[in-house]
Structure 1
Amino acid sequence: MENKTIIERIISKERLQPYLTHHRNNQEKAIQHYKSNILVSEAFYPLLSILEIGLRNSIDFQLTIRFNDKNWFENHEFIKVASRFQIDRISDARSNILSEKKEITSGRIISELSFGFWTSLFDTKFEMTLWKTLRLAFPNCPKEIRKRRTMSSKFNSVRKLRNRIFHHEAITWNLDVIQEYEKEILEALDWLNRDLVNWLDGLNHLDNVIEENRKHIE
């Protein structure tokens, strides 16, 4: 068993405490669960990566057509309907690019914008302004469920999971829920482009990782 003092100093007692509580203060089980959580989180990376890139590029494509401008994010008509949050994120993207002494291009701005920026485009305020365009980013979604609120719910749920993973938080309290997230992401990818799901072959090992670590979690 790892030295308790070292583990608590490196990982932090506060971060380890939920695992200890879950395993009735059994430190060995708690640490193993912590390690398993890292492995499961890591296994989500291909799914989240392809979803985020696929979503932003699909939205970028549709908004470029809508505003007839590859720099739609600075187009006056977009700015008129954008929220303060989005305007600030675009400004942040510009600042980040300049801080790296790089030329500002539309491609770099699109890549720099956060997942939160893209999911915010499904907010209620855009129902009458952008949704008619944004829905075209999901050609394979059945029309009866291709609603703004459906996309907002789905992608914001995934965004919250993504943020927990990228902030090294625990996600493995309920493996059934984790596998539902996988289904949600695969469905979203299918809605965007079925080739994205096929392209994941050989990259998505989440189910195997879950089964390999189930005994350390449950």
Structure 2
Amino acid sequence: MPISAADAQAVEKVLSKERLGTYARTLTMLNTRQALTLYAWNAEISGAFMLPQQACEVAVRNAVSDVLSAVYGLQWPWSLGFERSLPDPQSGFSMRKELCTARGKARAGNTNTVIPELKFAFWVRLFTQRFDNRLWLPHLKASFPGMPAGLTVQQCRQMIYYELDGVRSIRNRIAHHEPIFARNLAADYTRML
């Protein structure tokens, strides 16, 4: 639908000249209407990515929760052994603090209410080498049966980490309403699948 110059200026005022400037500079566009068209297309593509991203995230969370249940019991979020296995750096993202925060927001004793409270970064970081012996060597192949044949468990775990970190990257850009139009969207979509 064509947009009038006056409407374009009004939208630019609401969104900010700086935000639209990202779109205008990318394709060396000369007017706000063209930048708004790209902005709208970016928003539509971002929306289209929500379903595959959601399915990916929920599938991973559930598969990992099943592994954590097998290792630490159905009440794994309250397992002291699991909590102590999580890194807790002085600065930056702390998996241990994230778990404690998520437990505080959930109903006591109900694992299913903790799972969605944990940030996606938490789930991604469970695929680091530190969790190989306890989680992934005994459980990865059964939990992620579609992995390529001929790869070691460590190679599969590393591949999952890499792919999920890519999903996390586009997920965060979408969540913060940032441009994704310059990304390799076909690769991002394949990664989610």
TM-score, normalising length: structure 1: 0.75
2:59 to 48, 54, 70: 54
Partner of 1:28: 33
Structure 2 gaps, min length 5: 89-93
Higher RCO, 1 or 2 (CA under 8 Å, sep at least 6)?
1
User: How far apart are the structure 1 equivalents of 2:34 and 2:139?
Assistant: 46
User: How far apart are the structure 2 equivalents of 1:83 and 1:70?
Assistant: 21
Distance 1:21 1:29, change over 3 A: same
User: How far apart are the structure 2 equivalents of 1:34 and 1:126?
Assistant: 41
2:101 aligned with 1:92: yes
Partner of 1:210: none
TM-score, normalising length: structure 2: 0.84
Distance 1:134 1:167, change over 3 A: farther
Contact 1:164 1:171 in 2 (8 A): yes
Partner of 1:40: 45
Partner of 1:107: 112
Show CA shifts across 1:28-50 (max 9, x none). Answer: 21110000000000001110111
Distance 1:95 1:183, change over 3 A: same
Partner of 2:122: 117
User: How far apart are the structure 1 equivalents of 2:120 and 2:138?
Assistant: 19
Partner of 2:185: 178
Partner of 2:87: 83
SS, match of residue 168 in structure 1: coil
TM superposition shift of 1:21: 0.4
Partner of 2:71: 66
Root mean square deviation, CA, Å: 1.9
User: How far apart are the structure 2 equivalents of 1:112 and 1:7?
Assistant: 35
User: How far apart are the structure 1 equivalents of 2:190 and 2:80?
Assistant: 38
TM superposition shift of 1:182: 1.0
2:137 aligned with 1:132: yes
- Most deviating of 21-30 and 44-53: 21-30
The one-letter code matched in structure 2 to 1:72 is W
TM superposition shift of 1:22: 1.8
TM superposition shift of 1:2: 4.3
User: How far apart are the structure 1 equivalents of 2:61 and 2:55?
Assistant: 10
User: How far apart are the structure 2 equivalents of 1:39 and 1:159?
Assistant: 19
User: How far apart are the structure 2 equivalents of 1:19 and 1:46?
Assistant: 25
Contact 2:77 2:103 in 1 (8 A): no
Aligned-residue sequence identity (percent) comes to 27
Show CA shifts across 1:47-84 (max 9, x none). Answer: 011111111011111110122x1111221221232112
Structure 1 gaps, min length 5: 187-218
User: How far apart are the structure 2 equivalents of 1:21 and 1:160?
Assistant: 22
User: How far apart are the structure 2 equivalents of 1:7 and 1:61?
Assistant: 47
The one-letter code matched in structure 2 to 1:13 is K
